[in-house]
């Protein structure tokens, strides 16, 4: 497998992270984000959680502060859209994201997968592809009981210490999710090991993404 370095030849990278719920970005791409911030590259991050109310907003902001501790700059936006009803709120969500686009020039967009079984996740993916046509879009995956994990085609290899830091922060910040039987270290570590095997990651672990368009030269 031939590696391509994200941000190669650059000294600065702007990263837009979009998640429906307060733990989505961290579960799907937390390891990639931590790795980029530790790479020496100056990374500007705009972190968007579309459904964050009450304790979920507190969790989102506290988690983002830890995950983005090494960012060159960071902005955290929390929306008030109703959980599980994103398709019916699509025009308002599109306007919200268009406003983000007007304030932040992203190089890379991290967002949910197009084929995710959760309707909120699918809606955000569709809107991202509609709004961010000049950016590299990486669709991340969220494990869940639906069994919707697909066949990704892009991988971010993770050092074991990075994966453990990701899991530590997930367990620290998302007490509201601990009652879910899939939300535990075994799930996150097991999926990362499987993806690491698929891409022959040197450190044995990886996060996986769907990359639909890439301009090579």
pLDDT over threshold 80, residue 1:
no
pLDDT over threshold 80, residue 65:
yes
Q: Domains of the chain, with CATH numbers?
A: 12-210 (3.40.50.10320)
Quick one: pLDDT at residue 216? 87
Quick one: pLDDT at residue 116? 98
> Given the structure tokens 């301009």, which residue do they identify?
215
Q: Compare 102 and 176 and report the one with higher pLDDT.
A: 102
Quick one: pLDDT at residue 7? 82
Cβ atoms of 149 and 142 within 8 Å: the answer is no
Query: For the whole prediction, is pTM greater than 0.95?
Result: yes
| Chain segment 18-55, per-residue pLDDT in tens | 999 999 999 999 999 999 999 999 999 999 999 999 99
| Chain segment 166-193, per-residue pLDDT in tens | 999 999 999 889 888 999 999 999 999 9
């Amino acid at each position: 497998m031939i590696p391509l370095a994200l941000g190669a030849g650059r000294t600065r990278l702007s990263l837009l992270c979009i998640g429906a719920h307060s733990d989505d970005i961290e579960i799907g791409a937390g390891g990639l984000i931590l790795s980029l911030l530790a790479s020496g590259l100056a990374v500007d991050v705009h972190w968007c959680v579309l459904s964050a109310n009450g304790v979920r907003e507190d969790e989102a902001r506290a988690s983002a502060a830890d995950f983005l501790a090494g960012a060159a700059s960071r902005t955290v936006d929390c929306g008030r859209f109703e959980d599980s009803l994103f398709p019916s709120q699509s025009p308002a969500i599109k306007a919200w994201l268009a406003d983000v686009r007007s304030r932040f020039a992203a190089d890379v967009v991290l967002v949910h997968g197009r084929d995710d079984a959760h309707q909120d996740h699918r809606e955000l993916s569709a809107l991202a592809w509609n709004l961010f046509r000049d950016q590299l879009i990486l669709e991340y995956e969220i494990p869940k009981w639906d069994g919707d994990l697909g066949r990704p085609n892009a991988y971010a290899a993770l050092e074991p210490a990075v994966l453990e830091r990701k899991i530590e922060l997930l367990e620290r910040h998302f007490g509201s999710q601990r009652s879910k039987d899939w939300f535990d270290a075994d799930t996150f570590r097991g999926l990362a090991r499987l993806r690491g095997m698929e891409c022959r990651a040197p450190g044995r672990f990886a996060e996986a993404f769907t990359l639909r368009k890439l301009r090579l030269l």
